[in-house]
């Protein structure tokens, strides 16, 4: 017995990121082929982020392959006024975390396994639908 | 000597000035002090007093930004000059001996000094 | 404390009783897991050592020889010890938030932390220096080999910021960093060689940083409630705030513009390029002026005792029961007397 993944619950997890990882401003959950699933957004266009996330992780994976560096874990984009981290959620989804220049990347890397697990569990409802 | 102390030391040339300090207008932190520092009061209290005045009477001014506060007592003036800058306001605080100072001259010098800091 | 094999001491070691002038920290890991939740500014609590013998409290810097073999048990004790020995180096603190403390001759010249903007961040975000100017200064500093400790001098030399102003900002950021660290849980720390950091001025005594941190925590506690709670609270303008717009100091206006209900005081600090404690102080004052509303339950604090100072255009003056006296500042005019 399953319940369809509730968009509200996904947004709850995304919103909780702002509590768990200092410096998080917004986050976007998207599919591996660039479609928006859910977002806790304020100023960015979630659809645009979703599209770019797929491209970002794709290029990151190819770079990791070229460098023979093992499996890609995440891509960190550092800018003067902020940072964006893109990581995979299971096989088919991506999480983009947008933050200011004080984003606590170490905390994000600590929290990532739990967050990925929570999101994956909610998304698993889709598969059996 | 730090740049802050060097800058404040210039003020000791002002006739009648007994002590001076550079204080954060928001947090009350004293960044530097010269002369008889206790004369210039407690930084945190000065900042709180200035903020109280800003909040209460600031709206009477055209653009709501307090410029200075002068507290007069029997023997001393305490002049609090706001240093306007891009960041949080700084307060240039000076204690002046009434018997040895010309208040108008001293406040002009303090204003000029404050503008120099903000440049 | 033990020096790692890569330690390089500059200056003369003149024998027993004379610590080297500018000894680097080396790579020895000396931090046993610190006491969780002990803020930067709280007094040290002696604990028995693992073998059961009671250890004395860290000694005050009054010239006593530091115990070379006793690992520091709190961050504060560590820094006081390093000050005694005039060490230069980097203390990396892990925690939530963690941070990096930069020491030169035992004085704190910078603290970097996710909890409050760095000096670079403050200069850029506040608009004091633009990105191109910063990039040029950085390039110049690198060319002249002055990156790191002399970057500050380069910024001043290029006229991008005043010497006093930069020194003020660097000092302020050390205290903001100490405060930010004290709000979180520091798990453990390790020491390392000095690493380049933007700095200006002689640096701050660890004791002064600790005392100021204690003062700040007490102040927030007195005026609001636990500082750690305020740090997590999210706020937005109240309805009165819109009516008051245009009659407020500029920095209150910019806080109101940035407060969107999603941002904590720490987030607002990063948006505006200001320090965490400075933002908190302003928010407390603005809350007293009834300019703010809070998301979720307002953290436990005193009820507002501020009279309505911002006139509303529509409603009649508030009932007398709303105009309780404002808290009186502690300025004591008699201190100016003879």
Question: C59 in a domain, yes or no?
Answer: no
Q: What is the pLDDT of residues C63-100, one digit of tens each?
A: 444 444 567 778 888 899 899 999 999 999 988 889 99
Q: Supply the ipTM of this predicted assembly.
A: 0.91
Which CATH number is C285's domain given? Answer: 1.10.10
Least confident of B106-115, C109-118, C225-234, C314-323: C314-323
Q: How many Å is the Cα radius of gyration of chain A?
A: 14
Query: Quick check: is C327 in a domain?
Result: no
Whether residue C140 sits in one domain with residue C34: yes
pLDDT tens for chain A, residues 1 to 129? 455 556 669 999 999 999 999 999 999 999 999 999 999 999 999 999 999 999 999 999 999 999 999 999 999 999 988 999 999 999 889 999 999 999 999 899 999 999 999 999 999 876 544
Q: Is residue C96 part of a domain?
A: yes
- Hey, is the C-beta of B11 within 8 angstroms of any chain C C-beta? no
Residue A86's nearest CA partner among A41, A32, A18 is A32
Residue of C164, C309, C333 with shortest CB distance to B55:
C309
- Contact between C278 and B26 under an 8 Å Cβ cutoff? The reply is yes
- Residue among C127, C168, C309 whose CB faces B90 most closely: C168
Task: Look over chain C and give the mean of its residue pLDDT values, rounded to a whole number.
Answer: 75
Do C266 and C191 lie in one domain? The reply is no
Of residues C332 and C10, more confidence is placed in: C332
**Token pair 């010269």: residue:** B34
Q: How many domains are there within chain B?
A: 1
Q: Is residue C12 part of a domain?
A: no
Q: Between chains, do C131 and A80 touch, taking CB under 8 Å as contact? A: yes
C90 and C184 together in one domain: yes
What residues of chain C, 29 to 58, have a C-beta less than 8 Å from chain B?
none
- The reply to whether C195 and C262 lie within a common domain is no
Does residue C315 carry a pLDDT above 80?
no
pLDDT of amino acid C147:
66
Which structural domain, as residue segments, surrounds residue B34? 3-118
> What's the CATH number where A16 sits?
3.30.450.30
Give C234-271 pLDDT, tens digit per residue.
999 999 888 887 778 888 999 999 999 999 999 999 99
**Helical ranges in chain A per DSSP H:** 7-20, 46-66, 105-127
Specify the number of domains making up chain C. Answer: 2
Residue ranges of chain B whose pLDDT lies below 50: none
Peptide bond into B12 cis (omega under 30): no
Of C117, C131, C260, the CB nearest to A42: C260
Show residues of chain B in contact with C338, CB under 8 Å.
Answer: 74-75
Which residues constitute the domain of residue A46? 7-127
Q: Do C236 and C194 share a structural domain?
A: no
Per-residue confidence (pLDDT) for residue C1, from 0 to 100 = 38
Mean of the pLDDT values across residues C108-121? 95
Residue B24: its pLDDT value, please?
Answer: 94
Distance between C42 CA and the closest CA of chain A, angstroms: 24
List, for residues C21-63, the tens digit of each pLDDT value.
345 554 434 343 443 334 464 444 443 444 444 444 444 444 4
Nearest to A100 among C94, C134, C267 (CB): C267
Flag whether residue C243 sits within 8 Å of chain B, measured between CB atoms.
no
Domain annotation covers residue C17: no
Q: What CATH number should be reported for the domain holding residue B57?
A: 3.30.450.30
**Best residue in C270, C271, C275 for a mutation probing chain A (most A CBs within 10 Å):** C270
Query: What are C174-189's pLDDT values in tens digits?
Result: 999 999 999 988 778 9
Asked if C337 reaches chain B (Cβ–Cβ under 8 Å), the answer is: yes
Q: How many CB pairs under 8 A join A and C?
A: 46
Q: Is residue A109 part of a domain?
A: yes
Verify that C292 and C151 share a domain, yes or no. Answer: no
Mark whether C186 and C231 lie in a shared domain. no
Whether residue C42 is found in the same domain as residue C166:
yes
d(C-alpha A9, C-alpha B54), whole Å: 46
Cβ-in-10-Å burial (0-12, 13-18, 19+) of C129 comes to buried
Q: What is the pLDDT of residue C25?
A: 59
Domain contains C3: no
pLDDT 10s digits, B17-47: 999 999 999 999 999 999 987 887 888 888 8
Q: Is B45 on the interface with C (CB under 8 A)?
A: yes
Q: What does the DSSP assignment read for C165-183? A: HHHHHHHHHHHHHHHHHHH
User: Are 3 or more Cβ–Cβ pairs between A and B shorter than 8 Å?
Assistant: no
Is C11 contained in some domain?
no
Share of chain C above pLDDT 90, in %: 42
Contact A102 C117 (CB under 8 A): yes
Q: Does A51 fall in a domain?
A: yes
SS3 state at C147: coil
In a domain, C213, yes or no: no
* Residue range(s) defining the domain that contains residue C166: 22-47+67-204
Interface contact C114-A18, CB threshold 8 A = no
Instruction: For residue A115, give Cα distances in angstroms to A61, A126, C69.
Output: 21, 18, 42
What the block records as the tokens of B22 is 């550079």
pLDDT of residue A126: 61
Q: Where are the alpha helices (DSSP H) in chain B?
A: 3-11, 43-57, 103-118
Strands B68-72 and A82-89: unpaired
At C21 the pLDDT is 38
Q: Which of C313, C303, C326, C319 is nearest to C244 (CA)?
A: C313
What does the DSSP 8-state code read for residue B61?
Answer: S
Q: Do chains C and A touch (3 or more CB pairs under 8 A)?
A: yes
């Amino acid at each position: 017995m399953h319940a369809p993944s509730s968009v509200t619950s996904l947004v709850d997890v995304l919103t909780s990121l702002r509590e768990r990882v200092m410096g998080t401003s917004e986050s976007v959950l998207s599919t591996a082929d660039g479609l928006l699933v859910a977002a806790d957004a304020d100023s960015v266009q979630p659809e645009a982020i979703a599209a770019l996330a797929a491209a970002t992780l794709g290029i990151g994976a190819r770079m990791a392959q070229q460098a023979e560096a093992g499996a890609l874990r995440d891509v960190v984009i550092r800018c003067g006024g902020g940072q964006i981290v893109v990581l995979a959620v299971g096989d088919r989804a991506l999480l983009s975390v947008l933050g200011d220049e004080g984003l606590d990347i170490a905390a994000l890397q600590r929290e990532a396994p739990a967050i990925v697990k929570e999101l994956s569990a909610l998304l698993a409802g889709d598969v059996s639908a | 000597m730090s740049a802050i102390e060097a800058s404040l030391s210039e003020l000791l040339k002002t006739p009648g000035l007994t002590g001076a300090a550079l204080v954060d207008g928001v947090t009350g932190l004293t960044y530097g002090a010269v002369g008889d520092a206790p004369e210039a009061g407690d930084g945190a209290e000065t900042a709180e007093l200035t903020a109280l005045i800003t909040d209460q009477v600031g709206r009477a001014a055209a653009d709501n930004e307090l410029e200075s506060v002068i507290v007069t007592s029997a023997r001393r003036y305490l002049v609090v000059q706001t240093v306007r800058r891009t960041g949080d306001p700084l307060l240039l605080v000076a204690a002046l001996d009434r018997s040895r100072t010309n208040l108008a001259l001293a406040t002009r010098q303090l204003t000029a000094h404050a503008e120099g800091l903000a440049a | 404390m033990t020096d790692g094999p890569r330690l390089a001491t500059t200056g003369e070691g003149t024998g027993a009783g004379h610590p080297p002038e500018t000894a680097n920290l080396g790579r020895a890991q000396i931090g046993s897991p610190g006491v969780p939740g002990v803020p930067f500014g709280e007094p040290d609590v002696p604990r028995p050592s693992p073998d059961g013998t009671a250890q004395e409290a860290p000694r005050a810097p009054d010239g006593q020889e530091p115990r070379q073999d006793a690992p520091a048990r709190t961050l504060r004790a560590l820094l006081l010890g390093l000050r005694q020995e005039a060490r230069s180096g980097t203390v990396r603190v892990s925690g939530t938030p963690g941070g990096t403390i930069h020491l030169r001759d035992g004085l704190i010249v910078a603290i970097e932390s996710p909890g409050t903007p760095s000096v670079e961040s403050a200069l850029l975000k506040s608009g004091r220096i633009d990105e191109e100017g910063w990039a040029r200064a950085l390039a110049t500093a690198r060319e002249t080999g002055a990156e790191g400790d002399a970057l500050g001098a380069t910024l001043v030399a290029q006229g991008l910021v005043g010497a006093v102003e930069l020194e003020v900002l660097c000092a302020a950021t050390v205290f903001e960093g100490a405060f930010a660290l004290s709000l979180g849980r520091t798990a453990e720390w390790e020491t390392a060689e000095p690493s380049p950091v933007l700095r200006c001025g002689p640096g701050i005594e660890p004791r002064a940083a600790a005392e100021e941190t204690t003062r700040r925590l007490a102040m927030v506690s007195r005026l609001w409630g636990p500082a750690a709670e305020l740090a997590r609270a999210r706020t937005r303008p109240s309805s009165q705030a819109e009516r008051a717009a245009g009659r407020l100091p500029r920095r209150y206006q910019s806080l109101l513009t940035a407060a969107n209900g999603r941002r904590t005081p720490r987030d607002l600090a990063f948006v505006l390029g200001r320090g965490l404690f400075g933002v908190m102080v302003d928010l407390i004052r603005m809350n007293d002026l009834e300019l703010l509303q809070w998301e979720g339950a307002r953290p436990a604090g005193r009820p507002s005792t501020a009279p309505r100072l911002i006139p509303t255009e529509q409603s009649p003056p508030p009932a007398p029961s709303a105009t309780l006296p404002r808290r009186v500042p502690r300025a004591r005019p008699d201190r100016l007397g003879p």
